[in-house]
Amino acid sequence: MTLCPAEPDSGVVFVRKDKRGQEAEVQGRFDNVCDTALGTTLRNEDGVNVATVEHLCAALWGAGIDNVRIELSGPEVPIMDGSAYPFVFLIECAGVVEQPVARRWLRVRRPVEVEIGNSRLAVYPSEIFSADLAIEFDNRVIDRQTYRFAEGESGFKREISRARTFGFVEDVERMHAAGLALGGSLDNAVVVGDDGVINEEGLRYQDEFVRHKLLDCIGDFFLTGHRMIGHVEGIRPGHRINNELLRAVFADDSNWSMSELDDAVFSKAQEPSLAIA
């Protein structure tokens, strides 16, 4: 994977370089999401897929990147260590450049709520991006965890970016038997057994599980093409309900509006638009 500079207002574009003939572009947009089973997968109108985009998109959000061309030699974004931190680190190493256009923000204007089974996710008008999430698992290691994040008060790199994806021993064994997730290992996921976390290093945060769910939400929400101003509340979030919430927001034009920098009242909004250098 290579991250390349992009022109203002071009957004996040994935480019499959392994396709025969010309390159295949897939726009990083919520309405291109075609699968949410094991991650967030995008598909263009020609049927070309790019899988597992959420961790990279969260890193782009955390690094303040608006426009980038992401070239891939295969159908999936590298999993790295299962978190967003390696991407954040590499973006910082590359550096960013200011672009001579104002950043536009997606402002939520009315409450929007969706429910799928026992999962609920809602977004409300606010003056910043913030989130209150809860997860519940019938597992004594995870149990119930809650986490609150507020942009400008909380730091994405320090508090969220290192949280890894997680799964259970029995699920990993089942997927391997089905020929799925063959690259998965203790190097790129937290694996939970009956007696605790199997990974030798243990957890990076005491509540790493719910923090990773927030990381996924941030990555999925960035597929609007803009940073969001709104307060998110949810219990048992996941990629499917994350995408359904975005679709519900955009189903009614009165639910949202676009704001220029002078209409975004918190300090983070004063940053210029950025791109990979």
Strand 33-35 and strand 24-27: pairing? unpaired
Active site positions, annotated: 239
- Give CA–CA dist 147/134, Å, rounded: 7
Q: Are 29 and 195 in contact (CB under 8 A)?
A: no
Instruction: Please classify residue 268 by burial: count the beta carbons closer than 10 Å to its beta carbon, then call 0-12 exposed, 13-18 middle and 19+ buried.
Output: middle
Model confidence pLDDT, tens digit, residues 154-184:
799 999 999 999 988 877 666 556 565 555 5
- Give 214-246 pLDDT, tens digit per residue: 999 999 999 999 999 999 999 999 999 999 999
Please tell me the pTM assigned to this model: 0.90
Its CATH class, for the domain covering 2-276, is alpha beta
pLDDT exceeding 90 applies to what percent of the chain? 75
Give the model's pLDDT for residue 13.
98
Higher pLDDT pick, 71 / 275? 71
Question: With the C-alpha atoms ordered 33, 37, 40, 45, is the resulting torsion angle positive or negative?
Answer: negative
pLDDT of residue 261: 56
Residue 31 has pLDDT above 90, yes or no: yes
Provide the pairing of β-strand 24-27 with 12-16: antiparallel
Question: Looking at residue 70, what is its pLDDT?
Answer: 97
Please give the pLDDT value at position 181.
54
Confidence of residue 267 (pLDDT cuts 50, 70, 90): very low
Q: What is the structure's pLDDT at 268?
A: 37
